Amino acid sequence: MRHNIAGRRLGRSTKHRKALFRNLTTELFKHERIKTTEAKAKSIRPMAEKLISLARRDDVHARRLVAREIQDRAVVYKLFHEIGPRMQGRNGGYTRMYKLGPRRGDAAEMVLLELVDREED
């Protein structure tokens, strides 16, 4: 029984899972919208929300905490100069998920994970 064990393993080792979460959150902030499986989206959502909350603070310590998770300097810049100020009036709930239906190959539930105040193309 898995009592008091939170989180999804996603069939990966710890290092692989952390790398996956970092890559997905980086892509989410870069493109402001990603298409992924429902389990992955539900797993990275809290991480993305915490990083946006740090970007709203906009101090040196917050920048260092975000840079520890996101390795791309351009994405860190975008997070602090575009996304953070845009989310300043919100008290949370910075992301939204749209269900897209099952994937054709393996019937995994697919979702579109995007930032709420996303600039339209």
Domain-wise residue ranges, the chain? 14-115
pLDDT in tens, 43-99: 999 999 999 999 999 899 999 999 999 999 999 999 999 999 999 999 999 999 999
Burial 28-53 (b: 16+ CB within 10 A, else e): bbeebbbebeeebbebbbebbbebbb
The tokens describing 85, both together, are 């100020």
Q: How many angstroms separate the CA atoms of 3 and 63, rounded?
A: 35
**Above 80 in pLDDT, residue 108?**
yes
pLDDT at 121: 62
CA angle 51, 24, 44 (to 5 degrees): 55
Q: How many angstroms separate the CA atoms of 85 and 13, rounded?
A: 35
The whole-chain average pLDDT of the chain stands at 94
Decide the pairing of beta strands 33-37 and 109-115.
Answer: antiparallel
- Say which CATH class 14-115 falls into: alpha beta
pTM of the predicted model as reported, rounded to 2 decimal places: 0.91
Q: How many angstroms separate the CA atoms of 38 and 21, rounded?
A: 13
Residue with tokens 């749209």: 98
